[in-house]
Chains A and B, each alone.
Chain A
């Protein structure tokens, strides 16, 4: 898919690289024993280390290292068995140490890949440059007091994985697909909960524009965008701004910009010439982070089946299309749900019901798969009722609607409402005979060759049986009676 901005002087292509900060799922912080629980009272999850009291020293949390390695493996990336923590020095009120412990030239994870699943079913590969571990800062609150800013250090020192992509992204949709896929991977792995609205996943987008085929242009970094939709919007708006600047004879200044979703614009935060010199150097309080192959292979053994593998299996074993498989694996809970429904049943039929009917209904109700009123077991039972001819596909849709409303068991609903399909030939024959007797002229039309009228008769019979007659049987018997 190509995405071209048609400027007044010709076409422009956009180039995007994303830096995503993923908060690591761990009980305690990267270098201290303080809790990472979200939403606690301000300044209650703070150890002496997090508050940077004199003489306090960081000690690496092995769990965070395991989570970073696990994520690296999930990104099919190179795991660096020796990495180094460095200090990034700058002053800010929510940075008690006066430096952030991060990784600079020797990150724990090197180059990897993410496969994007595009809406048209195609895929695209985006390179991962690196993943490194670092401390989160605290939170500054400027709206608590007319004169002073307030600081909450609960988040100070919580482990983040910064995942940096190569500048391989060419459209806002790809950026969206990248974030969706990355979020799916970390959620599958259980290494980050991926909640952008809670800030546990945050995205910075590096955006530039160029004439197709030309070298990269100067980029601007859009900081801290907090939803996938906003990232896509921000990229689109920023790229248009850059095109306007360039076509107006201006130059792009490398700078950090903020996306204002309300005004639909990006604006400069601070220009890079004014930016800090972070004076990175290896943190002398910490030894290089070293582990062996056994450590990595232990983690490898714990790896769950990831979206790409699951998608391939759904296509291979259940005969699903790339698109359907992609939709199902986008969230682990959806894939798990589907697998319960599909087990021992027709995989394609199951996928159809899950994607078209269930996801459709959930989207309409604006609830996630976890809140689905219809359990996977019940949806499976519904499919069984169709397969063994207990109900017709049409009746099944009615039953499903009741299930969505009540969460009920389809067998009971069918029983209680008397929706069982009529497969008794005598009962169907009676209904057919009545319709034929009442419409002799139409019978003649069919016999004269107007085959399409047969459908009208099927409809009438279904109507008179309250939709419960087996449509296949009705069709065959009508044909026999009228044309036989």
Chain B
């Protein structure tokens, strides 16, 4: 039998349906792979016993003819999703030991459809980062290696999820994307990642970073896998007021492979100064592939793009500074206090000890931009610009069906490379942030290799709630790019 961890989600689904193997076998193979790749630190918490138990239950369900859409498929869950009875940390010390008594809507949907949880994937603390170097539980190492053999970042914040999928430690993983946290690590790790439209997946039970931006999505080996998994994650949830009351389409059915006559936009503002030659080339290659497939490629303009990153780094920290106020050492998580301390002493000590540097930085930025006297200049202005950015896209989508752009300005970089320069670190999000601010669906798929042999992703951005078009174009681009490279040490 071939290594079951090499299967795609779709292949595994079909193999299970045919009875080629059981969910227990599939799950055991992945648990073995997790053991073998523990050096990558992709998981904060492994849940092998729970996985086997869920796999057994799944096999029984299948035997009764009650298989769901994700029946028996072992996945990793980003440790930002609250999972009932399983430690949920958000990669923060402040939540160490926290075991929710509830299951997030997205994981509940997935488990309800038969998915098996392998463990909780590592991430940047509270999903704040682009390198997965801010986790209290240690850095995640990208399974890919550059020519110099240095350890590379997997991207972030869903770095553990991306590494787990890339290293075949899970068939797929859940991610969350606030400013690029699914797409950028997908690009760095050579996998597919999709941020659906804001409101497509419920945020209930996901530890909040920036409520108006956070959105869950699938991280998978193929576009088809993303379509399958998204269909299982999505759906209206009355417990989330921002969840869209819309039916979930059959995303897999959208993969017709036919994009003839479609119009694809190329935003000229994304061609930023100093863009590496290989990124430019990758983008041009993507354009050629879409043209060859019968799409019409046209230039579009998104004039406010240059303000997107600045806007994002006001809006997201502002919301985060408020969202993270609940971690006060009172009801759950870490509490630090000494004899005779006042309530304020306890807050300060618990939060100073519980939050890492990047989280503290963003809480301070967020607090500052919301402060009396600065609110209009920063937060209010940012909201106005955000509206303009949305309008830019709305105008562009008046003429095109989807937009093609690079996912990130570079391939994965070495761990430690951008530390100490937060602004440079924030630039990793330059191509992903605009779609986040506009709430639009975005898909990253591996389309080529850098000169250093590292994966590079292309990004497709679609109209609100038109994930189907994004997936259809993505499927075509995936076939045309024929990306088959595997991380160092995983070939064969």
Contacts and interface: CB of A to CB of B under 8 A. Distances in A.
A299 B324 CA distance: 38
A89 B325 contact: yes
Interface string A226-268: 0000000000000000000000000000000000000000000
B204 A57 contact: yes
A63 to B, nearest CB: 15
A199 interface: no
B331 A56 contact: no
Interface stretch (B98-106, B140-148, B429-437): B98-106
A359 interface: no
Given A53-B100, A96-B331, A284-B210, A279 B322 contact: yes
A98 B322 contact: yes
Contact of B331 (A51, A55, A87, A92): A51
B5 to A, nearest CB: 30
Interface string B310-325: 0000000011011011
Given A54-B100, A55-B104, A96-B330, A286 B241 contact: yes
Contact of A93 (B207, B343, B379): B343
Contacts of B330: 93, 96, 151
Contact of B326 (A57, A98, A285): A98
A287 B100 CA distance: 26
Q: How large is the interface on B (under 10, 10 to 19, 20 to 34, 35 or more residues)?
A: 35 or more
A279 B370 contact: yes
Given A98-B322, A98-B326, A279-B371, A55 B205 contact: yes
B207 A55 contact: yes
Given A51-B331, A55-B208, A285-B211, A91 B102 contact: no
Contact of A57 (B81, B239, B321): B239
A60 interface: yes
A51 B331 CA distance: 8
A97 B208 CA distance: 12
A285 B207 CA distance: 13
B331 A54 contact: no
A159 B330 CA distance: 23
Contact of B322 (A57, A58, A60, A89): A89
Interface in A271-321: 277, 279-281, 283-287
A51 B372 CA distance: 28
A54 B207 contact: yes
B375 interface: yes
B158 interface: no
B210 A56 contact: no
Contact of B318 (A93, A97, A98, A281): A281
Contacts of B367: 279
B322 A281 contact: yes
Interface string A51-92: 111111111100000000000000000000000000101011
B238 A59 contact: yes
Contacts of B205: 55-56
B491 to A, nearest CB: 39
Contacts of A283: 211
B301 interface: no
A54 B82 contact: yes
B212 interface: yes
Interface residues of A, number: 31
Nearest to B199: A287
A188 interface: no
B95 interface: yes
A12 interface: no
Interface string A136-153: 000000000000010100
Contacts of A281: 318-319, 322, 370, 375, 379
A285 B102 CA distance: 19
B347 A59 contact: no
Contacts of B239: 57, 59
B332 interface: yes
B206 interface: yes
**Chain A contact surface mostly:** loop
B90 interface: yes
Contacts of B325: 89, 91, 97-99
A284 B241 contact: no
Given A54-B98, A277-B371, A285 B242 contact: yes
A97 B88 CA distance: 18
A149 B344 CA distance: 13
A99 B239 CA distance: 20
A280 B318 CA distance: 11
A48 interface: yes
Contacts of A53: 82, 100, 102, 331-332
A277 B373 CA distance: 10
Nearest to A281: B370
Nearest to A87: B322
Contact of B211 (A48, A51, A93, A284): A284
Contact of B82 (A55, A58, A96, A97): A55
Contacts of B347: 91
Nearest to B348: A91
A287 B241 contact: yes
A284 B212 contact: yes
Given A89-B370, A281-B379, A284-B210, A52 B326 contact: yes
Nearest to A51: B331
Given A55-B206, A87-B322, A99-B322, A285 B371 contact: no
Contacts of B62: none
Contacts of A97: 325-326
Contacts of B371: 277, 279
A48 B98 CA distance: 14
B151 to A, nearest CB: 31
B328 interface: yes
A98 B208 CA distance: 14
Nearest to A90: B325
A48 B379 CA distance: 30
B203 interface: yes
Interface in B295-318: 318
Q: Most chain-B Cβ atoms within 10 A of its Cβ — which of A53, A99, A280, A286?
A: A53
B298 to A, nearest CB: 34
B11 interface: no
Contacts of B375: 279, 281
B102 A57 contact: no
Contacts of B95: 54
A87 B101 CA distance: 26
Interface in A366-380: none
B240 interface: yes
A48 B102 contact: yes
Interface in B341-381: 343-344, 347, 367, 370-372, 375, 379
Nearest to A278: B372
Interface string B99-127: 01110100000000000000000000000
B483 to A, nearest CB: 35
Contacts of B240: 57, 59
A56 to B, nearest CB: 7
A55 B205 CA distance: 4
A92 B328 CA distance: 9
A281 B206 CA distance: 21
8 contacts: A54-B100, A54-B207, A55-B206, A57-B241, A87-B322, A91-B344, A99-B325, A279-B370
Given A54-B88, A54-B100, A98-B324, 15 more contacts: A48-B102, A51-B331, A53-B100, A53-B332, A54-B326, A55-B205, A56-B204, A91-B344, A92-B343, A99-B325, A279-B367, A279-B371, A280-B370, A281-B319, A285-B242
The 9 closest A-B pairs by CB, nearest first: A98-B325, A284-B211, A284-B212, A279-B370, A52-B326, A55-B205, A54-B207, A55-B82, A277-B372
